[in-house]
Amino acid sequence: MASPSAELTMQDLVDTCREIESQQWNLDDAHLLNAAGKENLGGGVKVGITVTLNNARVAFEARPGPAYDQCNISGGNLVAIDDVGADTNPIEPTAFTQIVLANSSSATLSEQASIQYSSYSGGVSYDATSPYSGTNYPVGTPQQPVNNVYDAADIALERGFTVGYLISDLTMVTDLPLSGFTFLGSGKDRTLITIPDAADVSECTYLDAEVTGFLDGNNTLRDCLVSDLNYIKGFIEQCVLSPGTITLAGTDIAHFLDCYSGQPGVGTPTIDCGGSGQELAIRNYNGGIKLTNKSGTENVSIDLNSGQVILDNTVTAGTVVVRGVGKLIDINGNHIHTGTWNGVTIVNETVNIEEIADQVGTALLVDGKVLTVPKFIGLK
């Protein structure tokens, strides 16, 4: 091997020797080597290459020194025989070279690209506290998670990944588009995803993490803890809402599906309707929720599994429909019944003592028990 080359694989050795043997003036000479292997065993696994040199040796060109250069031979097994067929050393020593022969420890050689791809587990692993950076394998695998967003994005682009495994907290950057990614946290109490206003994160999915900041359109949050958040368009599914504020800032329907209040006691998660422009659909909600800042004609529909809806005095227009087991009250705790309240059309179909009494009759308290007196119309 001519200097400065310091790497040689079994496949390179076979190819080079076959090229030398094919020259016209060498056709009557004996083969330089015999090689076998690479039979396909299925599943991307092949038999390893074994090279037997015939009365020949491998040498790397001598270096000038005084420092030694390490030269590597890899990719299979290398042996040699002399002119009488006896085993001999396949390496010819040269000045100031140190040869490392990495023979295979098994009879098989897996395709490198397939092994590398599968070791990522389908995505890029990110940990801001990791000591590893760059894009060279195995950086970005669970074994060596990458420590910055830029290298993580380059690895994902090179490998064709759209999933990021977050081992630590993540703050999105504002000068790199990350649209179309799925971010999988390590738990709602272990991974915090912070999204600055200028970050480009449209059409992303967030799973099993706490999410706060400014979302772009067509996002999905699933099994997350939702803190203070500006939300444009998409779905919030099976999430815990903290006692912060979610502000609607889009024009399409905002969907909250199978969500829960994460605040026991008097604290209540708040949805700021952003004035006007966006409808709101909350389905199968558990716990308390408060609506504020609604001045547009858009509809709000809330289905309770069990809980209460509080309308702030800044809710002044549109239609609010509430159904299920729970109650609809104002900021002072007074029940709001079907009709017009504070300029808002109310359709209250909740199930509670107050609403039953309003629909059926007058509620009386007798010996600590609530009784109802039916409404009779037309009695004389």
d(CA 301, CA 281): 5
Given a cut of 90, whether residue 193 has pLDDT beyond it is: yes
Strands (E), 312-374: 319-330, 339-341, 344-351, 361-366, 369-374
pLDDT in tens, 343-363: 999 999 999 877 676 666 555
* Cis before 4? omega within 30: yes
Domain boundaries, the chain: 7-110, 115-309
pTM: 0.68
Question: Which H or E run contains 18?
Answer: helix 10-21
CA 309 distance to own-chain centroid: 33
Give residue 258's pLDDT band: very low, low, confident or very high (50, 70, 90): very high
Which of 277, 280, 287 has the alpha carbon at shortest distance from 301?
280
Three-state secondary structure call for residue 154: helix
Give residue 378's pLDDT band: very low, low, confident or very high (50, 70, 90): very low
The share of the chain scoring above pLDDT 70, in percent, equals 89
pLDDT in tens, 3-13: 788 899 999 99
Rounded mean pLDDT of the chain? 89
The dihedral through the CA atoms of 193, 198, 200, 205 has a sign that is positive
> Which pLDDT does position 149 carry in this prediction?
97
Which one is predicted more confidently, 75 or 298?
Answer: 298
> Which pLDDT does position 377 carry in this prediction?
44
